[in-house]
Amino acid sequence: MKKTFLIIIALAFSVLGKAAMPILDPELQEAMSRCGDNEKLKINILMLEQSDATALQRAANPLTTKQERRAFVVESLQCQAEASQADVLHLLREMESKGLVDDIRPLWIVNSISCLANKVVINDLAQRRDIMTIYHCLPAQWIDETEATPAPRGDGREITENLLQVNAPQAWELGYMGQNVLIGLIDTGVRFDHADLAGRLWDGGPEYPHHGYDFANNNNNPFDELGHGTHVAGTLCGTGASGSQTGIAPEAKIMVLKVFHNDNTGEETDWAAAMQFAVEHGADVLNMSLGRPYPSAAQRLMMRQACENTLAAGIVAGVSAGNVRQMQFLAPPPYNITTPADCPPPYLQEDQMVNAGGTSCVISVGAVNYAHTIAAFSSQGPSQWTEVAEYGDYPYTSGSTTEIGLIRPDLCAPGVQIKSLDYSTTNGYTLMDGTSMATPLVTGTIALMLSKNPELTPAQIDEILERTAVKLTEHKSNDFGSGFLDAYAAVQAVDYDGLTEKEQEVSVYPNPSSGDFTVACEGMSQIQVFSMDGKLVQSLETRNDTEQISGLADGVYLLQITKGNSKINRRIIKIKSL
């Protein structure tokens, strides 16, 4: 009964694609024209039915805890995928038995199926009316080759300069070091036996004995053969056991999610599968120091849908903005930010409101040097989404004061000559550059915040980070975002940003009620009432501190009160008169 109900809910939260994309992506058509009849191409099938992540999130909001909300979203997405993919999967498995299809991998974080298929199967799939688009999965280099310079071990008391610059030691003195927080690290893997990561890796039990999974090679051993992931892991959680304290959240733990082959290439279906695994297995925050340059519209749609559904599940991600600033002759703004850092954040800062659009789990991170000057490689915003018709938001026109695109990044952190762990030894350190190196400082700060208040929402986390950042420009900019990360101020603000006080200031009575509801909240500007299927029932603009809600039919509703830049949710119940 429960599963049937959730399937109905999942379908209610779905939206049909606008068929703006050709069923066969042009790059796939070109690849098919060059391949033989029996040759198999790696494809990704995006189903026409995709979730409305905003409505799904609204429906989950009234549930009491973050874990309950996540479980509701996960099961709803799973049920939607199970129902809508059934016929296509049956066809693919029938073709697999004939040797025409291999490696079938369905996903629910995005309603899609990847596989290897020949031209006959692809053309048959293109005739279906339940598929939005089919595109060619081509591996790309998502992480720039970064030359690593060996660095000496410290004396056991050294705290690396990047941690000092963002005031990490002061945050630790408050008692928060990332304890009880699990970080999903989507990268090149990790060297498990580095001394500075001892005790810092996720216990996956007998099913995942190596602390995670390798999605690129589809095996159980996400060991790092490139070095990038181990360096990032060190900035997240390195304990300093070998002499240098590199980790901003040294008591957090890392779930190792490898999405790159050993030639440094990867593709977005593996990245999305890693996100799905992290959501399902309890990660509290994600670190994605990666980005695809020059993606197609279908690839961008795939990645934004995954990021929106991850947000609906209550999870935030630190994502590197990219290292192609000096390649603007090939990718000028609004195309310089790599994907998924070009996806929108969970919280829209006031400078963005002139051109507001949707939200996702992504906090985009740029890089500066130790003089707080923009790094020569750090990608430059804005991004725009008008070319992906299924979204069509954040229009950009050069020189416009209203069509400003999506301001990217959200904030910046040190990313030049960053000392962290060397994957080629069990106790060494190395220096690397990149927005990849800046991102784990932000993700690790989120871990500090969550160790103080695990119920923080992605929007609250993003708002705190941006409001406490040290301003480097008057307004949020396409170089520095809202400013330079201040971990100490961010952790402090979990107490003093007013989140707890605002929750206490809202009063709704009587609740349950057989008549009207009174809403009391000093400084509120809007009250919205949503049904449990996410539909807006009432909306009231106000300058009063108390308002009446009347005329509701019997049932359960979500009440959302806007106060300043915060949204405060309450569940209300209308009952029949006695």
Gyration radius of the chain's alpha carbons? 24
What does the pLDDT look like over 361-400, one tens digit per residue?
Answer: 999 999 999 999 999 999 999 999 999 989 999 999 999 9
Q: Which of 418, 422, 412 is nearest to 477 (CA)?
A: 412
Report whether 186 contacts 288 (CB < 8 A): yes
Architecture field, domain 2-136: 2-Layer Sandwich (3.30)
Give 183's strand partners. Answer: 254, 285
Q: What is the mean pLDDT of residues 198-213?
A: 97
What does the pLDDT look like over 42-63, one tens digit per residue?
Answer: 999 999 999 999 899 888 888 8
- The CATH number of 149-496 is 3.40.50.200
- The CATH number of 505-574 is 2.60.40.10
Distances (CA, A) of 111 to 186, 299, 369: 20, 13, 40
Q: Which of 177, 195, 47, 42 is nearest to 121 (CA)?
A: 42
Q: Where are the domains of the chain?
A: 2-136, 149-496, 505-574
CA atoms of 286 and 212, how far apart (whole Å): 13
The burial of 479, by beta-carbon neighbours within 10 Å (0-12 exposed, 13-18 middle, 19 or more buried), is given as buried
Does the pLDDT value for residue 499 go beyond 80? no
Report whether 408 contacts 360 (CB < 8 A): no
Distances (CA, A) of 68 to 282, 312, 453, 503: 12, 12, 16, 19
Using the 8-state DSSP alphabet, how is residue 209 labeled?
T
CA atoms of 486 and 415, how far apart (whole Å): 15
Does the pLDDT value for residue 32 go beyond 50? yes
Q: Compute φ and ψ for 497, nearest 5 degrees.
A: -80, -5
Q: Compute φ and ψ for 343, nearest 5 degrees.
A: -75, 155
* CB-based contacts of 224, cutoff 8 Å, min separation 6: 187, 188, 189, 190, 191, 230, 258, 423
Share of the chain above pLDDT 70, in %: 93
What does the pLDDT look like over 291-319, one tens digit per residue?
Answer: 998 899 999 999 999 999 999 999 999 99
Q: Residue 354, Cβ neighbours under 10 Å: how many? A: 11
